[in-house]
Amino acid sequence: MLKLYETRSREVVNITGSAGQLKMYCCGPTVYRDAHVGNLRTFLLSDLIVRAAKLSGLNVTLVQNITDVGHMAADLEDKILSQSKVEKIDPFEIVKKYEERFHEDLARLNILPADLYPRASESIELMISAIEKLIENGSAYIGTDRNVYFDAQSFPTYGAISGNRLGALKPGYRLETTEDGAKRFHADWALWKIAHDRTQMVWHTPWGLGFPGWHIECSAMSLAHLGQNVDVHVGGIDLRFPHHENERAQSNALTGHETVTHWIHGEHLLFEGRKMSKSSGNVVLIQDIIDRDLDPLSARLAFLENRYRSQMDLTWASLKAAHSTIKRWRGVVASGGASSDVESDSEIENALLNDLDTPKALQRLRAIEKDARIDPSRKRALFLFADQVLGLDLKRVPEEKVLTREQAALLQSRQEARLRKDFAESDRLRGLLEADGLAIHDGPDGQSWS
Ligand code: AMP
Ligand code: ZN
Cα 191 to ligand 2 centre (Å):
14
- Chain mean pLDDT for the chain: 94
For range 187-214, the mean pLDDT: 94
191 closest CA partner among 121, 131, 143, 256: 131
Q: What is the pLDDT of residues 33-51, one digit of tens each?
A: 999 999 999 999 999 999 9
Q: What is the pLDDT of residues 255-309, one digit of tens each?
A: 999 999 999 999 999 999 999 877 778 899 999 999 999 999 999 999 999 999 9
More confident residue, 76 or 405: 405
Atom of ligand 1 nearest to the CA of 267: 21
The domains of the chain are located at 3-266, 270-390, 405-449
Q: What is the pLDDT of residues 350-369, one digit of tens each?
A: 999 999 999 999 999 999 99
Q: Is the CATH code 3.30.9.10 the one for domain 3-266?
A: no
For range 4-20, the mean pLDDT: 97
Number of the ligand closest to the Cα of 25? 2
For range 111-126, the mean pLDDT: 97
**Distance of alpha carbon 70 from its chain centroid, rounded?**
21
Number of the ligand closest to the Cα of 312? 1
For a mutational test of ligand 1's pocket, the pick from 47, 238, 303, i.e. the residue with the most ligand atoms closer than 8 A to its C-beta, is 238
pLDDT at 75: 65
Confidence of residue 70 (pLDDT cuts 50, 70, 90): confident
Report the predicted TM-score, pTM, of the whole model to 2 decimal places: 0.89
Nearest CA to ligand 1 atom 7: 39
Cα 218 to ligand 2 centre (Å):
5
Atom of ligand 1 nearest to the CA of 238: 12
Confidence of residue 320 (pLDDT cuts 50, 70, 90): very high
Nearest CA to ligand 1 atom 14: 39
For range 333-352, the mean pLDDT: 97
Q: Is the predicted pLDDT of residue 428 greater than 80, yes or no?
A: yes
Q: Residue 206: how many CB atoms within 10 A of its CB?
A: 11
* Window from 12-26, 179-193, 310-324 with minimum mean pLDDT: 179-193
pLDDT at 73: 75
pLDDT at 142: 97
Nearest CA to ligand 1 atom 8: 39
Q: What is the pLDDT of residues 158-167, one digit of tens each?
A: 999 999 999 8
